[in-house]
Amino acid sequence: MRLVVQGKAITFAHLAHIHQLCASSVQFVQIAQHGYYLANQSEINSAVQQFCADQKIDCAYVENNQFIQNFGLCVMDMDSTLISIECIDEIADMVGLKPQVAAITERAMQGELDFAQSLRERVALLKGLQESDLMRVLNERLQLNPGAQQWIDTCKANNITTLLVSGGFNFFADRVKAMLGLDYAVANTLEIIDGKLTGKILGDIVDAQTKADELVKLRDRLGLNTSQTIAIGDGANDLKMMSVAGVGVAYHAKPVVQAQASYALNFVGLDGVINLFAS
Tell whether the model's pLDDT for residue 103 goes beyond 90: no
Residues recorded for the chain:
279
Shortest CA distance to 81 belongs to which of 218, 226, 246, 211? Answer: 211
Q: Give tens-digit pLDDT for 228-239.
A: 999 999 998 899
To the nearest whole number, what is the mean pLDDT of the chain?
A: 95
- The rounded distance, in Å, linking the Cα atoms of 75 and 145 is 16
- The rounded distance, in Å, linking the Cα atoms of 54 and 57 is 8
Within 13 Å and on the Cβ side, how many CA atoms surround 222? 22
CA-to-CA dists, residue 110 to 77, 99, 102, 239, 243, angstroms: 15, 16, 12, 11, 17
- The rounded distance, in Å, linking the Cα atoms of 244 and 173 is 22
Indicate if 183 belongs to the active site: no
CA-to-CA dists, residue 78 to 9, 66, 161, 168, angstroms: 27, 24, 16, 8
Structure letter (DSSP) for residue 80: T
Looking at the chain, the whole-number percentage of residues with pLDDT higher than 90 is 85
Q: Which of 58, 77, 234, 238 is catalytic?
A: 77
Looking at the chain, the whole-number percentage of residues with pLDDT higher than 70 is 100
Q: Which of 54, 58, 79, 183 is catalytic?
A: 79
Indicate if 79 belongs to the active site: yes
Q: Give tens-digit pLDDT for 51-101.
A: 999 999 999 999 999 999 999 999 999 999 999 999 998 988 888 888 888
CA-to-CA dists, residue 222 to 101, 162, 187, 216, angstroms: 38, 12, 21, 10
Q: Give tens-digit pLDDT for 18-61.
A: 999 999 999 999 999 999 999 999 999 999 999 999 999 999 99
Shortest CA distance to 272 belongs to which of 1, 11, 89, 9? Answer: 9
